[in-house]
Amino acid sequence: MASGQQWVLVEMVQAFYEAPAYHLILEGILILWIIRLLFSKTYKLQERSDLTEKEKEELIEEWQPEPLVPLVSKDHPSLNYDVVTGFVSAVSGHISEEMNLPPSHKIIVNGKECVNFASFNFLGLLESERVKLKALSSLKKYGVGTCGPRGFYGTFDVHLELEERLAKFMRTEEAIIYSYGFATIASAIPAYSKRGDIIFVDEAACFSIQKGLQASRSFIKYFKHNDMEDLERLLKEQEIEDQKNPRKAKVIRRFIVIEGLYINTADLCPLPELVKLKYKYKVRIFLEESMSFGVLGEHGRGVTEHFGVNIDDIDLISANMENALASIGGFCCGRSFVIDHQRLSGQGYCFSASLPPMLAAAAIEALNIMEEDPGLFRVLRDKCKHVHKALQGTPGLKVVGEPLAPALHLQLENSSGSRTDDLKLLRAIVDYSLDRQIALTLARYLDKEERFLPPPSIRVVVTVEQTQEEIERAAQCIRQAAEKILK
Amino acid sequence: MKHFKYILNPRCGNGQTAEKICGCVSNLLRCTRTCRTRTRLECCLRRQLARFSNTAAESLLPGYFARMNVGVAHSEVNPNTRVMNSRGIWLAYLLLTTALHVVLLSIPFLSVPVVWTLTNVIHNLAMYLFLHTVKGTPFETPDQGKARLLTHWEQMDYGVQFTASRKFLTISPIVLYILASFYTKYDTTHFLVNTGSLLSVLLPKLPQFHGVRLFGINKY
């Protein structure tokens, strides 16, 4: 009723007049606060810079621009490069246009035909006729490129087939293909490890792992190369930290990133101990198997087969197909739950064009060859042991690497102290070998970008195509070079 | 059938024979006839539509099923920052508060002052929960988890203070408080409850409290 409503309103206004003072004062303050808010400007919360304006001006004035083209010495490696042309076919003895084939076992460097001890063609699949025929037929079928990433018109049946075959070969649930080997582990690490997470990584990790770590924005803790005690010390420190702050520990993830066969030092990681540490300290293992895939293990499945470790113990295996498999690109394999995440979070998978189908078909054929003939791996291992033995005792050079490793390093026993001088000496040895038709190469790094720059070395690669006699000749040549140049 | 994860590769053109078709994802999509009037892509999609009424295929056929997602792509690194600026959200928030009040009013045994206090308290509780307790994002962001430990209030507009949405969300609990004080006739008990509730929701909004976690509560 109208009078009833009016009566309620009168009561309300009366209550307002009888309101306690503190309440009305508070409301007044709040209304003033609203007015202040309405007129305040937006601003960003800046992090305090410790430089005053004057110091900033001084720094700006001091700065000198660097020259666009810095002065380099005449013997900078970028100015003295080796030119690799195709190799001459065995049929005709002279180089002619139609017989110019890409380099594989034999390689033409600076116009001289040499035996290839420099390419990572471990299983000799680069010049396999079967692989070439398969690649050509799929070139005719699919054309050259895919013109799209995997999620946008870039998936072909060969991609899916290659993923299935790789998963079956490695005996994991699923595999995922990347179109560039370097980008494989560099995309896989940041897909799982974010800001605030902790990654324990070996000091000798390769450059692509380092770029992946940098992209992940996580806390990186390096442990000494293959030193399990150092790693355990770091893990124990982390455990103590976790016990101090269990709520923080519950939200951060911990990873260990290791390589099966290290490309920089050519030795194996102690995988069984790492798996023990994994279960003791609850860390995930990411294993990078670029050098050991297709090399180690009875059937070429890599370092897990070599050590007899259950493949389900490793959370993610990443490898590139550019070494033993003689294709381009890389893959990651593991449980479906893990690998499926990369289909949306792997930057190299979602935002790069997919692998050209010709190369995927070549990789499938290479896998066929690997599966049909497991004797190949035994042959390669024997050759590696042979090369390792043959290179021992070279005066002035030490062989760095395991007897099982197909890519050994030859480092100077006594370094001269300066990296450029060491490189000059090693380059002289390489030149001597090139003259004698053995193609070797210096191990190259981006000196300024590497975290732990390895010492300069010559990389000697063993393939199944190299005959006993060629190996002996190469070892002899290196010994002579070392005697002549390093004495 | 395997779920349609990838968009099939068209490699299609008019008048090509079926053998030339390659790269389609599943067996179902391999066309077996030559299409002369339409492109192969349309053929594949129509056949698939006829068989399985696949919505992905539907969206790829413009003009026949005009359901393309035009204008929804954005390059925002963290979409949480722009939620409170989106179209209609202020109105939706006001309507929701009004709806809460109306529902509480319709409960028979609650008097008007109690209902206003309850509205104020429940509104502030919900605001505290959604803006100042829940942290991070429900989706993955391309910045490797920069906002993982930040509440929604701290994420708003990438931490810029005193933007329009921030002012609106600060003023609305104050207005609600003033209304609630009026309708509770400035009673002491109601005053204490309402003021406490208001302070709990005003203090975290101050720029001095950006990123502050008292006593380590809600830090990780």
Query: Quick one: average pLDDT of A419-437?
Result: 93
pLDDT of residue A12: 83
Taking an 8 Å cut-off on Cβ atoms, the answer to whether A195 and B10 are in contact is no
Cβ-nearest to B161 among A43, A196, A248: A43
pLDDT over 60 at B32, yes or no: no
Cβ atoms of B167 and A37 closer than 8 Å: yes
Cβ neighbours of B195 in A, within 8 Å: 26
CB contacts under 8 A, B 187-216 vs A, are: 188, 191, 195, 207, 210, 216
Question: Do the bridges between strand A43-44 and strand B160-161 make them parallel or antiparallel, or are there none, so unpaired?
Answer: antiparallel
Q: How far is B11 from chain A (nearest CA, A)?
A: 9
What is the Cα–Cα distance from B174 to A266, expressed in whole angstroms? 68
- What ipTM score was computed for the predicted complex, to two decimals? 0.82
Burial of A337 (0-12, 13-18, 19+ CB in 10 A): exposed
Question: Do the bridges between strand A198-202 and strand A254-259 make them parallel or antiparallel, or are there none, so unpaired?
Answer: parallel
pLDDT over 80 at B16, yes or no: no
The alpha carbon dihedral of B49, B55, B61, B65 has a sign of: positive
pLDDT over 50 at A150, yes or no: yes
End-to-end C-alpha distance for chain A, whole angstroms: 116
Cβ-nearest to B145 among A45, A195, A357: A195
pLDDT in tens, B60-73: 555 544 567 888 88
pLDDT over 80 at B41, yes or no: no
Taking an 8 Å cut-off on Cβ atoms, the answer to whether B181 and A27 are in contact is yes
What is the Cα–Cα distance from A181 to A321, expressed in whole angstroms? 7
Enumerate residues 6+ apart whose C-beta is below 8 A from A294: A122, A123, A300, A302, A323, A324, A325, A370, A377
Cβ neighbours of A20 in B, within 8 Å: 186, 188, 191
pLDDT of residue A75: 75
Q: Which of A96-105, A123-132, A364-373, B99-108 has the lowest mean pLDDT?
A: A96-105
Alpha helices in A336-418 (DSSP H): 336-345, 347-350, 357-372, 375-391
Q: Which of A205-219, A418-432, B1-15 has the lowest mean pLDDT?
A: B1-15
Q: A190 and chain B: CB distance < 8 Å anywhere?
A: yes
Tell me, what amino acid is at A135?
Answer: A
Burial of A346 (0-12, 13-18, 19+ CB in 10 A): buried
What is the Cα–Cα distance from A202 to A221, expressed in whole angstroms? 9
Cβ-nearest to A150 among B6, B170, B174: B6
Enumerate residues 6+ apart whose C-beta is below 8 A from B71: none
- Unique residue bearing structure tokens 């005193």: B162
Question: Do the bridges between strand A254-259 and strand A284-288 make them parallel or antiparallel, or are there none, so unpaired?
Answer: parallel
Which of B65, B67, B62, B21 lies closest to B44, judged by CA?
B21
Cβ-nearest to B162 among A11, A43, A247: A43
The structure's pTM equals 0.84
| Residue of A39, A139, A155 to mutate for B, most B C-beta atoms under 10 A | A155
Which of A424, A389, A396, A428 lies closest to A410, judged by CA?
A396
What is the Cα–Cα distance from B24 to B26, expressed in whole angstroms? 6
Taking an 8 Å cut-off on Cβ atoms, the answer to whether A31 and B6 are in contact is no
pLDDT over 50 at A415, yes or no: yes
Cβ neighbours of B113 in A, within 8 Å: none
**DSSP code for B30:** -
Query: Quick one: average pLDDT of B122-137?
Result: 97
Taking an 8 Å cut-off on Cβ atoms, the answer to whether A43 and B22 are in contact is no
pLDDT over 70 at A87, yes or no: no
The alpha carbon torsion through B49, B50, B52, B56 (nearest 10 deg) reads 0
Residue A1, classed as helix, strand or coil, is: coil
